[in-house]
Every structure is written in C-alpha cells, then in structure tokens.
A = this chain, B = another copy of it.
C-alpha cells in the first residue's frame, strides 16, 4: 500500500477525477462503509485540526464558549419550528430502536442543533443579564445525501456550529457579521482562498433564518463553493420556542439569535483552489507539516545530519523527517502529493559539500543552502511560497468574474467560461426556481441592492431589486 503512489489524472482532462485522485493519493480520507460517509485519515484530520485551532481562538475573542449538545433530537422537538423541519425532514437519519426494543418516540440524529439550543435556553434566559449567550460546538452532523463527494458533500460531516442569543436585534446582527468577517479573514489570509461575501437570496437562505450571509469561493474549474454561512434569525426561533427575557425596562421581550458554521468542506475548497497535477498544495500557515526532511539513504552521517536539521527547525516550523527504508524517489513523490510546502533533501554528496537542497511545492526549484543558513532561508522560502500561492489563486478568481444582463448571455457564460456571473435580479423565489429549472444553477450571493429604476431582472424582465452573483456550484 504505502509503497505505491497511483497516477493522478490531469486537472484539465477530468477535474472531478483529478479531485478524487488527489484526495486518495494525499491520504486525506477513505469512504466509510455507510454510503456517503467518510473516514478522515491522519492527513485529512490534521488539516481540520489546524483549522479548528485557528478558528477556535478567533471565536473566543468574541466571547464565544464551547459546549456540547446531545446527538439525538426527539421528533416532537424538531417539529417546533416549521420552516426548519421542512428544510431537513427528508435527510434525517432516524433512530427507532435500542437493542431489540422499539422506542416510543423517533429520535433524529442532529443535522444541526438550533432546536436543541433553543429548547435548552428557555430555562436559562430570564433577564437581560443572562444575555448575550454565545455558544459553539465542534461536532459531526448527519444529512442524508443522494450524491456525495469527499469533503464537498457527505452524509456525515464535521463542522462547528455557533449559536448565539442577544437582547437586541442590532447586537445579534452585528455578531452575525463579525463571524462572517472572522471566516473571511481566515479563508483569505490563512487558507489563501479568495471569496465573495454577501447575503443569500430568499430562495437560498437557511431554513428558518431571516437573513443568511455566505462566503463563496471559486474553484479552479470555475464552479462556486459555499464555504461558510452565518445566519441571523431575528426572533424566529425564540418565538417558536418561547425564549423570553425581561429587558432593562422590566418588559418581556423575545431574544434575538444567530447561528453560523464552517465544515470540512473547507478542505475541499483548499484542494480545488491550490492543487495541481502533482497533487495537493497546502498554504504554509495551515500546513500540518510545513517542512519534510528526506534522506537520500540511511547511512549514519546522513541520518545524523537529518536529525540535526530536524532539531534546529522543529521548534520554529512544523517539521518531520522521513528516514524510513522507502526509496528516495518514493519519499519525494509522497511529500509532493501530500502538498508539504518545503522539502529538504539530505544526501552524502550534499554533506560533503556542506549544504542541503531545499525545494518548494509550487516552483519545485532546487536551492542549495549552506547548513548554517537553513533556518533563515526557510522563512524567506515560505514567504515566497505563500506569495506565489496567493497570486495564483487571486488570478484564477479575477479571471472568473463575469456579468450578464439577459438569461441567454448568462447561459452562454456558464457553459463556455464558468465563473461568478453578476446579474440584475428581481430576487423572487419563483423566478429563481425557474432559473434553477432551466440552468441547474442558483444564486450564490447578493452583491448589492443598488439597482436603477427600470433596470430589469435578467430572467423575468420585471424590475430588478438587486445585483446578484449566479454560478454553477458544488
């Protein structure tokens, strides 16, 4: 197994096949026994762990506290918020038995936890003094999907779900947007993935939300990927669950709530934004391994030098060494397909000449670096590597922005040069249904509400109310 790397299909030949080839070869995941489930292997989980570490700290700066709500939701509880249950009903995995005994009430495996949080808070929130409440949990959720793809769409996936309750609508709305900003900063500055952010149309907003804000990235193939969402509920959930508090004027009021999440889908975004025909490419800040040291052979001097390098680097960079008896070529290929930013090669000839060879995962240029200059050179090479990765991602992003004024123009663009297409749009659910039926696409996010008088919807020709991005999407 470990001694063989399979060939990766070229990106431009078959992007979907390329994607699954990379996922497999980079040892990120394996399919689970239950259809649509995933086993996150060490390389895949390490990426998620890096993301968790970064985001968890950011959430905490906003006063968010981690909690754990149970996995199972009684049917009666789920049915309290009507839109919400309608949105999820067909995808719910249902526990009906324990051992060989039937349960008296069906229990759903959580597809998300709004109803559990709301039900719990009824008894916790009495006064404005008890607010705001800002919870988050890192868990898996289950939504049965017909067609699944690793990381992008799976029946079970890992995510974080934030749930907050506030005493004023403005505070709740601000939190919704603060979280969106944290997501955007993380995705753009750490994952080096450019995104559009904005509001979802009524057609696309979350079941039960008043407003949904989204972060949309564009993949190498021009398809959009929703990479994170933040929902403002107003007091919808509080009304459905009767969550009232006494405000500072001694009046009873319903609380205002939000929820927000990103998932292992971000791993899919990472692969499809940065990967190339040789495999995965990981930005240095998020890379579980930033540097791999590989030895040309296992002679005593070579291994000794490798370990010396490891010791000088490992407290500064996430560094590993491969001194196994695998061939040098195999070790190189493995570090490449796994997307490690920098590779340091140590061989007997290098030792004699007093240097090592460092190459980066994008350019693959080999740089000879004297032993005593390795630590300082690494910083320079990683900075250069991230700069190039960012440049490439933004170039792709810019090149895939289009606009259209009619449905025919729109359709031609998404067929010939897929990407984000800005259009004037009426915003009606029925019109978006019609677009979906005709093109299998829906809106990604609203650009602005600044339409001119007499500017017409690209599809139905009624007055346009907004400018929206449409795209093919994962």
Residues of B within 8 A of A158 (CB): 68
Residues of B within 8 A of A70 (CB): 32-34, 37-39, 156
Segment 170-218 of A: residues with Cβ below 8 Å from B:
none
Segment 374-432 of A: residues with Cβ below 8 Å from B:
none
Decide if A329 is an interface residue (CB 8 Å cutoff): no
Given known contacts A1-B124, A89-B99, A98-B93, A142 and B71 CB-to-CB distance under 8 angstroms: yes
Q: Do B45 and A129 have beta carbons less than 8 Å apart?
A: no
Decide if A445 is an interface residue (CB 8 Å cutoff): no
From A89, which residue of chain B is reached at the shortest CB distance? B99
Q: How far is the CB of A65 from chain B (nearest CB, A)?
A: 4
Decide if A83 is an interface residue (CB 8 Å cutoff): no
Residues of B within 8 A of A30 (CB): 120, 123
Q: Do B33 and A73 have beta carbons less than 8 Å apart?
A: yes
Q: Do B40 and A68 have beta carbons less than 8 Å apart?
A: yes
Report A47-89 CB contacts with B as 1/0, cut-off 8 Å: 0110000000000000001111111111001000000000001
Alpha-carbon distance A324/B128, docked complex (angstroms): 12
Question: Of B99, B120, B139, which contacts A91 at CB under 8 A?
Answer: B99
Q: Do B34 and A46 have beta carbons less than 8 Å apart?
A: no
Alpha-carbon distance A109/B110, docked complex (angstroms): 12
Q: Do B109 and A3 have beta carbons less than 8 Å apart?
A: no
From A107, which residue of chain B is reached at the shortest CB distance? B34
Q: Do A127 and B2 have beta carbons less than 8 Å apart?
A: yes
Decide if A354 is an interface residue (CB 8 Å cutoff): no
Report A147-178 CB contacts with B as 1/0, cut-off 8 Å: 00000000010100000000000000000000
Decide if A116 is an interface residue (CB 8 Å cutoff): yes
Query: Which range contains the number of A residues in contact with the other chain?
Result: 35 or more
Q: Do B95 and A94 have beta carbons less than 8 Å apart?
A: yes
Q: How far is the CB of A268 from chain B (nearest CB, A)?
A: 15
Decide if A119 is an interface residue (CB 8 Å cutoff): yes
Q: Do A125 and B1 have beta carbons less than 8 Å apart?
A: yes
Residues of B within 8 A of A2 (CB): 126-127, 129-130
Decide if A135 is an interface residue (CB 8 Å cutoff): yes
Decide if A241 is an interface residue (CB 8 Å cutoff): no
Alpha-carbon distance A72/B41, docked complex (angstroms): 17
Alpha-carbon distance A252/B46, docked complex (angstroms): 32
Q: Do B67 and A42 have beta carbons less than 8 Å apart?
A: yes
Segment 84-123 of A: residues with Cβ below 8 Å from B:
89-100, 106-107, 109, 116, 119-120, 123
Given known contacts A1-B130, A92-B98, A96-B97, A156 and B45 CB-to-CB distance under 8 angstroms: no
Q: Do A42 and B71 have beta carbons less than 8 Å apart?
A: no
Residues of B within 8 A of A100 (CB): 90
- From A1, A38, A73, A127, residue with most partner B Cβ within 10 Å: A1
From A4, which residue of chain B is reached at the shortest CB distance? B126
Alpha-carbon distance A97/B89, docked complex (angstroms): 12
Question: Of B33, B40, B46, B48, which contacts A77 at CB under 8 A?
Answer: B33
Q: How far is the CB of A157 from chain B (nearest CB, A)?
A: 10
Q: Do A96 and B98 have beta carbons less than 8 Å apart?
A: no
Decide if A140 is an interface residue (CB 8 Å cutoff): yes
Q: Do A94 and B97 have beta carbons less than 8 Å apart?
A: yes
From A117, which residue of chain B is reached at the shortest CB distance? B39
Q: How far is the CB of A152 from chain B (nearest CB, A)?
A: 16
Alpha-carbon distance A90/B100, docked complex (angstroms): 7
Question: Of B38, B40, B120, which contacts A39 at CB under 8 A?
Answer: B120
Decide if A469 is an interface residue (CB 8 Å cutoff): no
Residues of B within 8 A of A127 (CB): 1-3
Q: Do A1 and B119 have beta carbons less than 8 Å apart?
A: no
Decide if A326 is an interface residue (CB 8 Å cutoff): yes
Q: Do A68 and B95 have beta carbons less than 8 Å apart?
A: no
Q: Other than the known A49-B66, A91-B99, A93-B107, what 10 A-B pairs have Cβ atoms closer than 8 Å?
A: A1-B125, A1-B130, A41-B67, A42-B66, A42-B135, A71-B109, A72-B142, A93-B95, A109-B109, A129-B325
List 20 A-B pairs, Cβ < 8 Å. A2-B126, A32-B70, A32-B116, A34-B74, A37-B70, A39-B69, A42-B67, A42-B135, A46-B66, A49-B66, A68-B140, A71-B140, A71-B156, A72-B142, A90-B100, A92-B98, A93-B95, A93-B98, A94-B95, A109-B109
